[in-house]
Structure 1
Amino acid sequence: MQTVDLSAQDVVEAVDGVYLAQLAVGEQMSVQHFHIQPDAEVPTHEHPHEQTGFIYEGELTFLVGEEGEETEHVVTAGESYTIPGDEPHAARNLGDDPVRGVDIFAPPRENPAWQE
């Protein structure tokens, strides 16, 4: 069994106002913590991993789909979500409070590009 303490992990500012920390990494999935400041945005990107998440503080607005055909999804504290692999998506904190949550990726993201 593996345990990972968030307070012992390196937190990386992946883009302005978006802080990520790699947590547990298994053979078939991985866990990442995120903290997104008000007015911060995760730009549109895609990856082969299915992404499932849970927001425990704040409200995050996702744009999902190809450019020009995106759909908007607002996810609030206490809600979870799933984004299929290879699906373009972006996220914005349009609120006045930080957003905090966790993402789970399958297959695992052992060395995400944002760590560099």
Structure 2
Amino acid sequence: MERITADEADPSEAVEGVHLSALAAGERMSLQEFRIEPGKEVPTHSHPHEQAGYLVRGELTFVVGEENAKREELVLQEGDSYVLPGGEPHEVYNDGDEPAVGIDVFSPPRTDPDWKD
């Protein structure tokens, strides 16, 4: 069994106001904690990993889909969960008044994300 303590889960500021912490990872999935400050966003991106998540606190808006195609906007509330297929372009922003905090699961594992650079 692998254990990652809170002290070992050192957050990185992936983009301004967006803090990500790589947590435990196995052979088929990995965990990541996120904290997105009010008024901040994760720009449009995609990755080959399927991504499922749970919003522990706050509110987030996901915009999903290609730039020049039909895009879907979904507002998530505290307690909502979600899943995105691998390769799906998406962006996320926090229009709320408090930080949005949650957990993402990636499959296959996302053990070397580009935000760690």
TM-score bin (small chain):
over 0.9
* Structure 1 unaligned blocks of 5 or more: none
Q: Which moved more, 1:104-113 or 1:63-72?
A: 63-72
Q: In structure 1, how many angstroms separate the alpha carbons of the residues matched to 2:87 and 2:104?
A: 16
* C-alpha deviation, 1:53, in angstroms: 0.2
For residues 31-89 of structure 1, what are the alpha-carbon distances to aligned partners after superposition, in whole Å with 9 as ceiling and x for unaligned? 00000000000000000000000000000000000113210011111110001100000
- Give the TM-score normalised by structure 1: 0.97
**Number of aligned residue pairs:** 116
Letter in 1 for 2:67: E
Identity among equivalent pairs (%): 52
- Give the TM-score normalised by structure 2: 0.96
SS of the equivalent of 2:7 reads helix
Residue equivalent to 1:99? 100
Q: Which runs of 4+ in 1 moved over 4 A?
A: none
SS of the equivalent of 1:3 reads coil
Residue equivalent to 1:66? 66
* C-alpha deviation, 1:8, in angstroms: 2.4
Residue equivalent to 1:77? 78
Q: In structure 2, how many angstroms separate the alpha carbons of the residues matched to 1:27 and 1:48?
A: 16
Q: Which moved more, 1:4-13 or 1:103-112?
A: 4-13
